[in-house]
Amino acid sequence: MAQVALTIDGLGVDFGGFKAVNNVSLTVEDGELRVLLGANGAGKTTLMDLVSGKTKSTEGRVFLHDTDITNWEEHKIARAGVGRKFQIPSVFKDLTVRRNLEVASCRNPKVLGNLRFGFSKESERDVDRVLDLIGLTEESNRLAAYLSHGQTQWLELGLLITQNPKVILLDEPTAGMTQAETQKTSQIVNSLKGKHTLVVVEHDMAFVREIAERITVLHLGQVLAEGNVEQIETDPKVRAAYLGSRGIL
């Protein structure tokens, strides 16, 4: 049996009486790709915020392998091995694409330890490999500010791949993308399967079918159902709560 990479145990947060996430428990195995589905306000992004440390939980625990990372500071959770991509693509706009990735390749977080020039050969090789994977080799000397929306999304994915965390949280990686761009994104995401444990929030069902193994459906801050694509598509509770009577497309 595969090892469990990420354990969420009874996690919840109370925003002054409103429970955006309420008693959510789920385990994601090493190398698994888990999709989180749910309507707007179901608590998907909040759940990611709780795991990555952006929001402090008021109940429950989060474990990365055997380490309890509940409510750690963001950069400590990141160093422990959880990477995150935001819904609104965020990259370092005034740096070139290559420099963006170099920042992510930096293994030493300390200021004084970084008072030196250049990056290791290994680090540069990583950057080259990732540039190739996200298809931005040609753009490597452009400022990130001049990339298209899709390219910016890929660059942020590239940052995560370079950072090389055990668990990667992706919040709507195809938001605002054309079909062709979505296609390429699913290739990138598929290439990460096995090497990383992935948790993906996504609305685009075509994309979900392309990448998903297991799906967890959230509804009103709670886990509604869990299973593979077929099980979820035919689950009456899911149909009623989220997909509507017509099903998923």
Partner 1 sequence: MSAKSRSVIVIYLAFFALIMCAPLILDPFWLNRIAKYLVFGMLGVAVALSWGYAGILNLGQGLFFGAGAYMLAMSLKLASTTSLQQGSDKPVPDFMLWNAEPGAPTELCCINKASFLWLPFQYQWFGVAMGLLVPVVIATIIGAIVFRKRISGVFVSIITLALVLLVRLIVIDAQPVTNGFNGLTDLGWFKVGGLEFDPYIVPTYYFVAVALCLVLTAARLLVETRAGLILQAIRDDQNRARYLGFDVTVYQTFFFAVSAGVAGLAGMFYVVVSEFASPTFMDLTFSITMVVWAAVGGRSSILGACIGAIVINMISATVSETQGFAEAWKVIIGLIFVLVVLYLPRGFAGLAHDFVDRLLTGHKAGSRRTAGVSDASQLAE
56, 93, 149, 237: which one contacts partner 1 (CB under 8 A)?
93
**What are the φ and ψ backbone dihedral angles of 51, each rounded to 5 degrees?**
-70, -40
> Between residue 163 and residue 222, which ones bind partner 1 under the rule CB under 8 A?
163
Q: How far is CA 220 from the centre of its chain?
A: 21
DSSP element (H, E) containing 187: helix 179-192
Establish if 70 lies at the interface with partner 1 (CB under 8 A). no
6, 37, 104, 130: which one contacts partner 1 (CB under 8 A)?
104
> Between residue 37 and residue 56, which ones bind partner 1 under the rule CB under 8 A?
52
92, 176, 205, 229: which one contacts partner 1 (CB under 8 A)?
92
DSSP element (H, E) containing 68: strand 67-68
117, 121, 230, 249: which one contacts partner 1 (CB under 8 A)?
117
DSSP helix/strand/coil, 220: coil
Give whichever of 110 and 246 is closer to partner 1, judged by the CB atom. 110
Tokens representing residue 125 in the block: 């090789």
Establish if 119 lies at the interface with partner 1 (CB under 8 A). yes
**Residues with Cβ within 8 Å of residue 17, at least 6 apart in sequence:** none
38, 43, 60, 83: which one contacts partner 1 (CB under 8 A)?
83
Least Cα distance to 134 among 176, 169, 91, 167 occurs for 91
State whether the Cα torsion 156-145-114-73 is positive or negative.
negative
67, 146, 231, 237: which one contacts partner 1 (CB under 8 A)?
146
DSSP helix/strand/coil, 180: helix
Give whichever of 19 and 99 is closer to partner 1, judged by the CB atom. 99
Task: In angstroms, give the least distance from the CB of 198 to partner 1.
Answer: 16
Instruction: Give the residues across from 199 on adjacent strands.
Output: 34, 169
> Applying CB under 8 A, which residues contact partner 1?
52, 73-75, 78-79, 83-84, 86, 90-96, 99-100, 102-104, 106, 108-112, 114-119, 137-143, 146, 156, 159, 163
